[in-house]
């Protein structure tokens, strides 16, 4: 069967991998059928033409009555064109009536596909044709969140230029009300952090755990971004909803460097959270013993 399945994935809390290379462009030419092969439906022919055919093949499929905005589709023809960077095809589809706001089964528009495929020319076309920069998926993430997770700073800049909300907290349960700047800090994307700040991002906003953007700079392990958040007024002595200090959280991240940094700022190693635990009690990872030593705690009991 001819067709394409496009899978757009949002990364969980771990840092995202480097942005994907655009899908390999297969040689394009006049589409032909092998002897005995059944004739594809117009919709199948359209997807095949977008993938490997010529613009004339796309036009021929449209003349046969291919559906431009199939309801409930895994991906629409415009999404396929967007993710592959077929700007000529995307332009034709929009001119023929393809909706720039048609959504897939997860509520994502063709603009998401362009970001997924790292296709600047395509996302600029879609934005120029009225695609919403503040699109939100059924998972509760905004397109701006997605562009940050995909490590697409050019897409972030384009979305900000077209009015994406820089302070919208995510409704995705995986991200606990994090704002775009929190995500960028966690991923150590300094250029994106600065772009978000310039666009009005508020680093003092707190997530559902009660912490502001400084906590995410610490999680990202970037000392320069930590200092930047302190200059922006983030609270060094803040506590989360479980009364954990930033030192508790850095120890729980297993980050020796961030523990050292916080100690140099004067945070107390002997602070207790609501469970009666100190930062040393939460130390994990390969550097856990080094962290415990920094915090003045004895080695953890064997087996812990």
Check whether 15 has a pLDDT greater than 50.
Answer: no
Across the chain, mean pLDDT equals 89
Output the domain CATH number for residue 289. 1.25.40.20
Q: Do 83 and 6 contact (CB within 8 A), yes or no?
A: yes
Q: Do 40 and 51 contact (CB within 8 A), yes or no?
A: no
Q: How many whole angstroms separate alpha carbon 172 and alpha carbon 177?
A: 7
The verdict on residue 214 lying in a domain is yes
**171 and 257 in one domain?**
no
**175 and 163 in one domain?**
yes
End position of a domain, from candidates 87, 105, 132: 132
Q: How many whole angstroms separate alpha carbon 182 and alpha carbon 188?
A: 10
The verdict on residue 67 lying in a domain is yes
**124 and 51 in one domain?**
yes
Q: Do 111 and 102 contact (CB within 8 A), yes or no?
A: no
The verdict on residue 18 lying in a domain is no
Least confident of 209-223, 234-248, 249-263, 290-304: 290-304
Q: Do 269 and 263 contact (CB within 8 A), yes or no?
A: yes
Task: Indicate the pLDDT class of residue 299, thresholds 50, 70 and 90.
Answer: confident
**119 and 45 in one domain?**
yes
Collapsing DSSP to helix, strand or coil, 136 comes out as strand
**203 and 162 in one domain?**
yes
CA 297 to chain centre: 38
**156 and 110 in one domain?**
no
The verdict on residue 149 lying in a domain is yes
**pLDDT tens figures, 129-168:** 999 999 999 999 999 999 999 999 999 999 999 999 999 9
**226 and 180 in one domain?**
yes
Please state the rounded mean pLDDT for residues 109-126. 97
Percentage of the chain beyond pLDDT 70 is 87
**265 and 211 in one domain?**
no
Q: Find residue 136's DSSP bridge partners.
A: 142
User: What is the extent of the structural domain holding 101?
Assistant: 41-132
The verdict on residue 63 lying in a domain is yes
> Structurally, how many domains does the chain consist of?
3
**184 and 164 in one domain?**
yes
Q: How many whole angstroms separate alpha carbon 270 and alpha carbon 240?
A: 16
End position of a domain, from candidates 235, 255, 282: 235
Please state the rounded mean pLDDT for residues 27-38. 53
**pLDDT tens figures, 38-84:** 688 999 999 999 999 999 999 999 999 999 998 878 889 999 999 99
CA distances to 26, 87, 116, 125, 138 from 95, in Å:
25, 12, 23, 12, 27
**225 and 166 in one domain?**
yes
pLDDT of residue 71: 84
**104 and 154 in one domain?**
no
End position of a domain, from candidates 208, 235, 262: 235
The verdict on residue 1 lying in a domain is no
Task: Indicate the pLDDT class of residue 300, thresholds 50, 70 and 90.
Answer: confident
Q: Where are the alpha helices (DSSP H) in the chain?
A: 42-52, 55-63, 77-84, 87-95, 110-116, 120-128, 143-149, 153-161, 180-186, 190-198, 213-220, 223-231, 246-253, 256-264, 288-294
Helix, strand, coil distribution of the chain in percent, nearest 5:
45, 0, 55
The verdict on residue 155 lying in a domain is yes
């Amino acid at each position: 069967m001819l067709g394409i399945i496009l899978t757009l994935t949002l990364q969980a809390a771990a840092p995202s991998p480097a942005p994907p290379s655009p899908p390999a462009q297969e040689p394009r030419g006049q589409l032909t059928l092998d002897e005995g092969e059944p004739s594809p439906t117009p919709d199948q022919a359209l997807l095949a033409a977008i993938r490997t055919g010529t613009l004339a093949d796309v036009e021929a499929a449209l003349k046969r009555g291919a559906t431009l905005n199939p309801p409930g589709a895994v991906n629409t023809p415009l999404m396929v064109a967007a993710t592959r960077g077929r700007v000529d095809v995307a332009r034709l589809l929009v001119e023929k009536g393809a909706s720039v706001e048609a959504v897939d089964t997860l509520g994502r528009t063709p603009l998401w596909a362009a970001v997924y495929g790292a296709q600047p020319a395509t996302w600029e076309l879609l934005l120029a044709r009225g695609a919403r920069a503040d699109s939100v998926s059924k998972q509760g993430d905004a397109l701006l969140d997605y562009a940050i997770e995909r490590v697409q700073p050019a897409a972030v800049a384009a979305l900000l230029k077209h009015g994406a909300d820089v302070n919208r907290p995510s409704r995705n349960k995986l991200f606990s009300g994090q704002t775009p700047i929190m995500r960028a800090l966690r991923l150590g994307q300094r250029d994106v952090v600065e772009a978000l700040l310039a666009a009005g991002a508020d680093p003092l906003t707190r997530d559902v755990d009660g912490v502001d953007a400084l906590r995410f700079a610490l999680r990202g392990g970037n000392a320069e971004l930590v200092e930047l958040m302190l200059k922006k007024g983030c609270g060094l002595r803040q506590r989360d909803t479980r009364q954990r200090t930033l030192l508790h959280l850095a120890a729980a991240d297993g980050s020796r460097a961030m523990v050292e940094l916080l100690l140099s700022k004067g945070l107390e190693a002997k602070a207790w959270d609501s469970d009666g635990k100190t930062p040393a009690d939460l130390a994990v990872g390969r550097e856990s013993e080094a962290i415990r030593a920094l915090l003045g705690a004895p080695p953890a009991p064997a087996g812990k």
